[in-house]
Structure 1
């Protein structure tokens, strides 16, 4: 496991909810047409090109559906795959394979698409010191798997949710009455509540960057929707005192230029909200 949220308990709870949604009171198609004693096998076929993700999760799913299913992994998470390759084979009770099939495919196709796009963007910023981050722009109840896929693709996870880091964005700043007011109020809140959370402050211009620097007591400064030229100036102004993060409208066309500004991190919501799934298929053989 590579992240604190990836516990066996969390994964099993996700699978239980997903199976309850899909199976309900029974997989009646399989129960009706396939003998209970039938033993068969299937293989996971890759029908595209990209980075494979969700293999470890597939193992959890098959085991939870039927502990007697046997998985033979041929390609692991993070593998670069091409059309026609076989990621794994599974054998055992036919009804169990069919019941697990759609959940395995739904997760792996989505996760592999995210891992593939993460890897692609990482290639675009290779040679710079910038690291790629995901965001909270995720699918409800599927965030854990989407962020896991980002890790598999070579990216880093930002905060997992609202509870594990303080991020003071533009609306927080505006509602609080400005940069200084937002930071000061947050510092007081953390002290009074006894919470040890890092503080990130979003800035929209150099004046707000200066206010953040003057206030201090933060961990990272986000440079939001700034031009590369302005971002370069902001990074020089911050001069290593705090971590820096570029955010806002960053695309394949602009990410390399953003990385060259010297920012420490680049957050891209499109990693999880705008990726194309990798075509995979589970076929009997």
Structure 2
């Protein structure tokens, strides 16, 4: 799956990666490799998976040596098998050796996330549920990791705390401890007055008894956190009944989302329950890097 990519978002992280790995130069290659030596190398998949990060790989190479020639054999989102030649790089040997680890670090990490996401997405194929990421990302890598999620067939949740309101149990507890009126209806009304049109408001419920209050509050999304699929199915029926009674007046549907302890083994159960969205932290925080090697011919 092709996904939009903004190179402005990765300038700092790429320069940091180059600085921490190459520093003042690859002293081993500088000592043993002639300055004018040229080589060609290939990025080879060592296992099956979904490739993500080719635009990043090309960008990294150009930052190290603008004369390097990078040729992709596939596009981001392509499924590869063991032994697939993903891309080739040609240029000064010292530049190739210097760039190798930085390129692989980006490509393997992002491909791992895309592969993990795709496994979840395939499990819910045929259901309306979308696989979504969370804010459980590597510090500094959020744009890149959320890009990889899209490449793998997932959908991005909020980018940060600034673009989507999510009222969680801790917010309600703190409001209560501060002797504020923590009623969800009041909180949502307060939020609506202070946010721009189009900003989504989501509220977490941990028990079915909270569903009607949250729906009455006028939220856009109800988040079922750590609730088993059978109970979520009942909750969704409650939401549908609420919409049936209120729909003519409000004119909008409430989206539903499941989160908390979602695994590859149980994700389909949540999709069967009828949720619109399933947020999975594991696709970013626990994704294993895809095994890719760089081999000079």
Asked if TM exceeds 0.5, the reply is: yes
CA deviation profile, 1:139-195 (whole Å, cap 9, x unmatched): 111222211111111001111111111111221122123995356345435634668
Residues 1:59 and 1:257: Cα distance change in structure 2 (over 3 Å):
same
CA contact (8 A) 2:3 2:151 kept: no
Match of 1:197? 199
Q: Aligned residue pairs: how many?
A: 282
Measure how far apart 1:236 and its partner are.
1.3
1:270 aligns to 2:282 (yes or no): yes
Q: Equivalences for 1:121-270 in 2 at 5 Å?
A: 121-177=120-176, 181=183, 184-185=186-187, 187-189=189-191, 191-192=193-194, 197-216=199-218, 218-239=219-240, 241-270=253-282
CA contact (8 A) 2:45 2:86 kept: yes
RMSD: 2.0
Structure 2: stretches of 5+ with no match in the other structure: 244-252
Structure 1: stretches of 5+ with no match in the other structure: none
Distance 2:121 2:267 in 1: 9
Q: Equivalences for 1:94-105 in 2 at 5 Å?
A: 94-105=93-104
Distance 1:262 1:12 in 2: 40
Distance 1:77 1:40 in 2: 25
Match of 2:85? 86
Distance 1:192 1:202 in 2: 20
CA deviation profile, 1:33-54 (whole Å, cap 9, x unmatched): 2222221111001101111111
Distance 1:32 1:165 in 2: 53
SS of structure 2 residue aligned to 1:13:
helix
SS of structure 1 residue aligned to 2:88:
strand
Distance 2:153 2:110 in 1: 13
